[in-house]
Amino acid sequence: MSKIIAAIDNSAASRPVLAMARAVALALDASLEVLHVVEDGDETARAAAQASGVPLRTLTGDPMAVLSTEMDAEDVSVLVIGARGRPAGRRPAGHLVMSLATRSDKPIVVVPPQFQPPDHLSTVLVAMEGTPGKARALQRTIEVSLSAGLQIAVIHVQDENHVPSFSDQVQHETEAYAKEFLARHKVAASGIRLELRVGDPATELLSAAQSEGADLVAVGWPHSDDPNRGAVAREILNRSPIAVLLMALS
Amino acid sequence: MRQHSHVTARVTGRRSDPSALEAGGSKDSADPSLPAELDRRFEAIVVWNAKPRAVPPELIALEGIGVPVVVVAPFSFATPMSRLAWSTTSAVAGFATEERGGADDPLVDMNDDDFALGETEDVLSFVLRELWKRGVTPGGVLLLIDGAVELPQLPLTGVLRDAVAAVTGPRHPPPPEGVVSLTGGDPRLHQVLADQLVRRRRGSLPEFDGPPGWSLVVEGSDHQHERVHASLLTVANGYLGMTGAPVSPVSSQEPLVLVAGVYDGEGAETRLLTGPGVFKLTGTRSRDGSSAQVKRRLDLRSGVLYERATVEAGTVESVRFASLAQPGTAILRVRCPKGFRARLRLQPPAEDPVHDEGRDGGSCWMRVAATTGGIVAAATQTRTRAGARGSTLDRFAVYRGDPDDLPERSSLIEDLARLSHSGFDRLFSEHRQAWAERWEDADVIIEGDDELQLAVRFALFHLMGSVADTNEAAVGARGLSGTGYRGHVFWDADAFVLPFFAATHPPSARAMLEYRWRRLSAAMMAAQDGGHAGARFPWESARTGYDVTPRRILDRSGRVITVRTGQLEEHIVSEVAWATRCYMDWSGDTEFALGPGRRILTETARYWASRIRLEPDGLAHIFGVIGPDEYHEPVDDNAFTNVMARWNLRQAAADPVDAVEESERCRWLELADALVDGYDPDTGVYEQFAGFNQLEPLIIEEVAPRRPIAADLLLGGDRVARAQVVKQADVLLLYHLVPDEMVPGSLEPNLRFYEPRTAHGSSLSPATHALVQGRTRDFDRALESLHLASRIDLDDLTGTTASGLHVATMGGLWQALAFGFAGLRPHHGVLHVDPVLPPSWSALAMPVRFHGSRVRIRKERAQLTIDTSQPIDLMVGSRRFDSVSGRLELRRRGSEWEPST
């Protein structure tokens, strides 16, 4: 059985992280372990874990190093973590999240502090840029989500530079384009719908997440510290009101 | 390392080309004592004797299994046929002579007084040209020349260099370089011929030996592009289409099979039914992935798809085709490595359930049922041991599609037996010859642009494969290469596809019109339902002829939107009439003209007469339509719709059916004269529709990051509707379709006005622009548009080639060359020719058929050559030539064309 680890800080933001971690563990039929790297106390973290009925394991040390080590464990499949740390923290959690995502191959679910996760996940929105490498990373998400019985909506946003050259008869063109897009990215399973949008990728993704009623937005994350890479994912992390699943790109 | 997959649009195919795809027969040595040059399968054998003598029995046997053979021998009419010991019933045997000669069924009619051959090379060139017309390329010919024949012209030059020549018997001096010397006299000759027989009996594979510019190569197989490649490599014969997915187990992709005109479903859900697959080699594990070692070559001249793949057991080579000679049949030959299993098993259709299936002795069958009608397929296979290298497998398949009744499998038994009995080689030869005959009337030659040349042949090949020439032809937006657009028939079949056939293969154009003709009553019902008279042909048509345009769909954002083209894009009524006129003008088919043709023109005119509103001010209008520019809807007085309706009314009035009263005819003419067309004499520009000039003057050329671009996606549908952004040629298309309806000299101001406002968001737009830019001699832009149109599928510019090829764009490409560059136009029984040549081309040549005459036009710099097989009237530029027969050579002097001498 695989294990989900929820990394919580000593703030109120730990509650949605725990709730999301429970929902993810339920969907994946995985066990859940809650971790807290002690920096400035653990009262709030303990209270949150106790309220959730999940034992808390506290650790000490550099959060980045500690959590990396924990993620490397063979049985750990997903890390669930908060989007932001307390303003008084030594390092903003956003930086921690990005560092962990850059270092690890494993999926990371990033939960905004104001997010209210559902008890059961129902819909995942998968953002596909359309390049083969990125598609491969997200195929796994789709496969896992499908096996967990979740609804999948794939979204492909084209910015101004990638608007199609031609669109003959809209009543057929969209169908033909979508069919090939899904086939090309090996996500042509039944029950998956492709939403095609044109515009600013982050804005359109978040708009689609809202209209689809998604619980989770899955995006690819580059193995790179280069701030010029993963710009869309960074913007979504900054702006998303719902949980974001970062999938490492090869 | 990842195997890259790409389509090469390049000149390939010579035997010296290492990328050439040679099939297994090429090195399947049957007789190791033969010289290396002869260690291959040849597609035709030419035996040149110095004197009349008995034809070798091996040659007769080769002819008997379908191999084209030619005997060249000096003999006169007095030469008894018995001396040649030849089967006079031979269908393919032929004779040529330096003197005169004859045969019951000769390669050429030797009794023709004009037939005369002189030098050696003339004889051989003649023979090779005749074989070329039968689909055999010089590279596939073996010339066996008697050592006693005088060969003063050797070494061979020109096309003769591509053939393999061998001199048999003693010769002094020795044969020159490049010609094989076969010592040993007659026994040696028999040995060579026997070797060719043995190869056939062992099931040798033909090898690609085509000349440059005639094939499309796809190397590798990757999941990203596989469906696109499969569409590009489709082999079809107008009745049956099979996409070019690998048959070898290097991919789980299977060829998609479609049978023309067999639809499933009702209303907007009507779609082409998919048929059972017969070619996939099952029984060995498939290997998907980037490491797949596979190479495919589509021979455009012969309609044959070659494939070579590396699998665990070794190399699998195959040759497949959908027979053009016998539509409804498909043949596959495979060279299997030892240990490679390939059981005969039909594959379920790609998108439809199996109705029933079974086995009959050594054959399999499967049926797929549609709402009405369906498809049945049956296949059988034979296996021939080919020594230690494995075996050869021949698979024969027959398909029957019926739009109304599910065919019985028993209907295929006889055909399947006949097919199997004919054998691969004869079927291959017939198929190749059928394609060669089609190319004789269709090939466009562009000298100076190899890339465009290949792309044009690619387009013409798929056009010819998409349309049947008997019965009726429902030509969907993707032909027989995919299920995109559900196989629905649009206006582009009539306005873009049909003209190519009207001018090159009239039976196919006739079949397309038969499709419309048989649905005239449905069109009349539709008009009546809308409160109108006449015939209202549907925007999207399928089996019944009633409109099948989806009314509500999910757009790209998942929102439900209303589609109004089915209700409002009425200009298709005129396009059906235009296609009718186009066919009649090219073919001179008076029987059709006096029957269905006249009736279609009349009923479409009646529709417009009832649709047009005559206002008190005396002006007539058509309100609430969608023009070819679909970014604006609905609009009033769309110039395209109105001018086409005006043309339709005038055409019908000029020659109505007998039942039309004079008062009705006069009414048509009055309405035609009263119809507004938006022309502004001050600017010389037609307003695309009422109010267009008041829209936001947005020049898409200036604001878009590039063109072509789907402006409705870039800017949003609401924005383009409020702006002067045009999807595709609208007003400009009129200058091609009905130039006589346009104000003389107004093309250039309209082109200057509309082109910068056109997003070219329709795949039809570039070709139309190439056509009108060609007429205005704007060669830079014309060539840019032409190249763009030629690459739409080859480069998958729409992202939808996987769902099938854009056959209307292909037709548009031909029209741009024929009407825009060659300046062809049939008009009142006269063929107008007014060619222009871009500076980068050295020549443009194309054949057409006009009133039964084969016409060949070749334009070089200042020279124009026109060959006609029967007398026709020509208008070259502004000069008329009556009853031209044979060759007319002209030179440009100033603005006029004058006979050369």
Q: pLDDT tens, A98-120? A: 889 888 889 999 999 989 999 99
Tell me the average pLDDT across A205-225.
89
Looking at beta carbons, which residues of chain B come within 8 Å of A167? Answer: 710, 712-713, 761, 798
B861: closest CA among B824, B836, B833?
B836
Q: Is A162 on the interface with B (CB under 8 A)?
A: no
Tell me the average pLDDT across B14-33.
46
Is the pLDDT at B245 greater than 50? The verdict is: yes
Looking at beta carbons, which residues of chain B come within 8 Å of A151? Answer: none
Predicted local confidence at residue B30, as pLDDT: 64
Give the CA angle between residues B339, B345, B349 to the nearest 5°: 135
C-alpha–C-alpha distance, residues B805 and B477, integer Å: 8
Which residues of B fall below an 8 Å CB-CB distance to A?
Answer: 223-224, 227, 477, 484-486, 488, 490, 549-550, 553-558, 561, 563, 565, 705-706, 708-710, 712-714, 760-764, 792, 797-800, 802-803
Containing B583, the helix (H) or strand (E) segment is helix B572-587
Tell me the average pLDDT across B693-714.
95
Strand partners, B363: B360, B380
* Position B121 confidence tier, pLDDT thresholds 50, 70, 90: low
Predicted local confidence at residue B26, as pLDDT: 42
For B766, nearest residue in chain A (alpha carbons): A166
Is the pLDDT at B160 greater than 80? The verdict is: no
Measured in angstroms, the CA of B613 and the nearest CA of chain A are apart by: 29
Is the pLDDT at A85 greater than 90? The verdict is: no
Predicted local confidence at residue A143, as pLDDT: 80
B214: closest CA among B512, B503, B414, B12?
B12
* Backbone φ, ψ for residue B310 (5° rounding): -105, 120
Predicted local confidence at residue B638, as pLDDT: 98
* Position A90 confidence tier, pLDDT thresholds 50, 70, 90: very low
Predicted local confidence at residue B108, as pLDDT: 37
Is the pLDDT at B619 greater than 50? The verdict is: yes
Is the pLDDT at B289 greater than 60? The verdict is: no
Strand partners, B219: B6, B295
Q: Do residues A237 and A127 lie in contact, with contact meaning Cβ atoms separated by under 8 Å?
A: no
Mutation to test the B interface, candidates A167, A181, A250, most B Cβ within 10 Å: A167
Of B227, B563, B710, the CB nearest to A171: B563
Contact A180 B800 (CB under 8 A): yes
Tell me the average pLDDT across A127-131.
79
Is the link from the previous residue into B246 a cis peptide, with omega within 30 of 0? no
Please, which residues have CB within 8 angstroms of residue A87's CB and are 6 or more apart in sequence? Answer: none
Looking at beta carbons, which residues of chain B come within 8 Å of A129? Answer: none
Q: Do residues B490 and B822 lie in contact, with contact meaning Cβ atoms separated by under 8 Å?
A: no
Mutation to test the A interface, candidates B561, B629, B798, most A Cβ within 10 Å: B798
Looking at beta carbons, which residues of chain A come within 8 Å of B714? Answer: 160, 163, 198
* Position B8 confidence tier, pLDDT thresholds 50, 70, 90: very low
Please, which residues have CB within 8 angstroms of residue A186's CB and are 6 or more apart in sequence? Answer: A135, A139, B223
Q: Which of B121, B430, B630, B633 is catalytic?
A: B630
B884: three-class secondary structure by DSSP: strand
Predicted local confidence at residue B406, as pLDDT: 97
Looking at beta carbons, which residues of chain A come within 8 Å of B221? Answer: none
Q: B121 is written with which tokens?
A: 């090379």
For A200, nearest residue in chain B (alpha carbons): B714
Predicted local confidence at residue B223, as pLDDT: 82
* Position A140 confidence tier, pLDDT thresholds 50, 70, 90: confident
Q: Do residues B820 and B782 lie in contact, with contact meaning Cβ atoms separated by under 8 Å?
A: yes
Measured in angstroms, the CA of B758 and the nearest CA of chain A are apart by: 12
Question: Which DSSP string do the residues of B835-855 spell out, in sequence order?
Answer: ----TT-SEEEEEEEETTEEE
Predicted local confidence at residue B472, as pLDDT: 98
Q: Do residues B415 and B398 lie in contact, with contact meaning Cβ atoms separated by under 8 Å?
A: yes
Of B31 and B842, the one with more pLDDT: B842
Predicted local confidence at residue B622, as pLDDT: 98
B313: closest CA among B339, B282, B293?
B339
Is the pLDDT at B442 greater than 60? The verdict is: yes
Is the pLDDT at B366 greater than 80? The verdict is: yes
Is the pLDDT at A221 greater than 90? The verdict is: no
* Position B29 confidence tier, pLDDT thresholds 50, 70, 90: low
* Position B788 confidence tier, pLDDT thresholds 50, 70, 90: very high
Of B550, B553, B798, the CB nearest to A166: B798
Q: Do residues B676 and B620 lie in contact, with contact meaning Cβ atoms separated by under 8 Å?
A: yes
Give pLDDT tens digits for B308-352: 999 888 899 999 999 999 999 999 999 999 888 888 999 999 999
Q: B294 is written with which tokens?
A: 């596979």
Of B554, B555, B708, the CB nearest to A165: B708
Mutation to test the B interface, candidates A128, A139, A159, A166, most B Cβ within 10 Å: A166
Contact A166 B223 (CB under 8 A): no
Give pLDDT tens digits for B877-894: 999 999 999 999 999 998
Contact B712 A179 (CB under 8 A): no
Is the pLDDT at B103 greater than 90? The verdict is: no
User: Residue A82 to residues A96, A101, A237, B243: CA-CA distances in angstroms?
Assistant: 10, 13, 11, 51
Of B554, B709, B798, the CB nearest to A163: B709
Predicted local confidence at residue A190, as pLDDT: 64
Mean pLDDT, all residues of chain B: 88
Of A173, A195, A208, the CB nearest to B800: A173
Contact A168 B799 (CB under 8 A): no
Predicted local confidence at residue A19, as pLDDT: 95
Strand partners, B305: B298, B320
Dihedral of alpha carbons B70, B73, B74, B76, sign: negative
* Position B180 confidence tier, pLDDT thresholds 50, 70, 90: confident
Give pLDDT tens digits for B221-241: 888 899 999 999 999 999 999
Q: Is A190 on the interface with B (CB under 8 A)?
A: no
Predicted local confidence at residue B91, as pLDDT: 26
Q: From the centroid of its chain, how far is CA A110?
A: 6
Give pLDDT tens digits for B195-230: 999 999 999 999 998 888 999 999 988 888 999 999
* Position B150 confidence tier, pLDDT thresholds 50, 70, 90: low
Tell me the average pLDDT across B101-118.
38
Of B388 and B14, the one with more pLDDT: B388
For B806, nearest residue in chain A (alpha carbons): A168
Contact A166 B763 (CB under 8 A): yes
Contact B763 A195 (CB under 8 A): no
* Position B48 confidence tier, pLDDT thresholds 50, 70, 90: confident
Is the pLDDT at B435 greater than 50? The verdict is: yes
Q: What is the DSSP letter of B410?
A: H
* Position B71 confidence tier, pLDDT thresholds 50, 70, 90: confident
B266 part of the active site: no
Q: What is the DSSP letter of B732?
A: H
B751: three-class secondary structure by DSSP: helix
C-alpha–C-alpha distance, residues B455 and B452, integer Å: 5
Q: Do residues B451 and B794 lie in contact, with contact meaning Cβ atoms separated by under 8 Å?
A: no
Mean pLDDT, all residues of chain A: 87
Q: Do residues B641 and B655 lie in contact, with contact meaning Cβ atoms separated by under 8 Å?
A: no
For A177, nearest residue in chain B (alpha carbons): B800
Please report the beta strands in B523-680, taking only residues with DSSP state E, as ranges in sequence order: 552-554, 560-562, 613-614, 620-621, 679-680
B275: closest CA among B291, B288, B296, B261?
B261
A211: closest CA among B107, B560, B40?
B560
For B268, nearest residue in chain A (alpha carbons): A171
Tell me the average pLDDT across B624-640.
98
Alpha helices, H only, chain A: 14-28, 43-52, 63-72, 93-103, 132-147, 170-184, 201-212, 231-239
Q: From the centroid of its chain, how far is CA B73?
A: 38
Contact A160 B798 (CB under 8 A): no
Of B553, B762, B802, the CB nearest to A168: B762
Contact B490 A177 (CB under 8 A): no
User: Residue B71 to residues B47, B123, B142, B155, B308: CA-CA distances in angstroms?
Assistant: 5, 11, 12, 21, 34
Strand partners, B180: B166
Tell me the average pLDDT across B514-535.
98
How many residue contacts between A and B have a Cβ separation below 8 Å? 105
Looking at beta carbons, which residues of chain B come within 8 Å of A174? Answer: 553-556
Predicted local confidence at residue B514, as pLDDT: 98
Identify the weakest region by mean pLDDT among B93-97, B162-166, B613-617. B93-97
Q: Residue B634 corresponds to which amino acid?
A: P
Predicted local confidence at residue A189, as pLDDT: 65
Please report the beta strands in B782-852, taking only residues with DSSP state E, as ranges in sequence order: 825-827, 830-833, 843-850
Looking at beta carbons, which residues of chain A come within 8 Å of B227? Answer: 180, 183-184
Is the pLDDT at B47 greater than 70? The verdict is: yes
Predicted local confidence at residue B28, as pLDDT: 56
**What strands, in cross-sheet order, belong to the sheet with A31-38?**
A56-60, A31-38, A3-7, A76-82, A108-111, A243-248, A216-221, A123-127, A151-158, A192-198
Q: Do residues A154 and A192 lie in contact, with contact meaning Cβ atoms separated by under 8 Å?
A: yes
Contact B761 A174 (CB under 8 A): no
For B490, nearest residue in chain A (alpha carbons): A169
Tell me the average pLDDT across A15-25.
95
Q: Do residues B877 and B834 lie in contact, with contact meaning Cβ atoms separated by under 8 Å?
A: yes
Q: Do residues B19 and B297 lie in contact, with contact meaning Cβ atoms separated by under 8 Å?
A: no
* Position B444 confidence tier, pLDDT thresholds 50, 70, 90: very high
Please, how many CA atoms are within 13 Å of residue B848, restricted to the half-sphere of its CB?
Answer: 29
Predicted local confidence at residue B15, as pLDDT: 30
Give chain A's radius of gyration (CA, Å): 18
C-alpha–C-alpha distance, residues B394 and B36, integer Å: 27
Tell me the average pLDDT across B547-555.
92
Give pLDDT tens digits for B573-598: 999 999 999 999 999 999 999 999 99
- The total of other beta-carbon atoms located within 10 Å of residue B129's CB is 12
Q: Is B387 left (phi over 0), alpha (psi -120 to 50) or beta?
A: left
Contact B803 A170 (CB under 8 A): no
Per cent of chain B over pLDDT 70 is 88
Q: Is A159 on the interface with B (CB under 8 A)?
A: no
Tell me the average pLDDT across B76-89.
39
Please, which residues have CB within 8 angstroms of residue B104's CB and are 6 or more apart in sequence? Answer: B81, B88, B89
Is the pLDDT at B16 greater than 70? The verdict is: no
Q: Is B362 left (phi over 0), alpha (psi -120 to 50) or beta?
A: alpha
> ipTM of the assembly?
0.87
* Backbone φ, ψ for residue A144 (5° rounding): -65, -45
Per cent of chain B over pLDDT 90 is 73
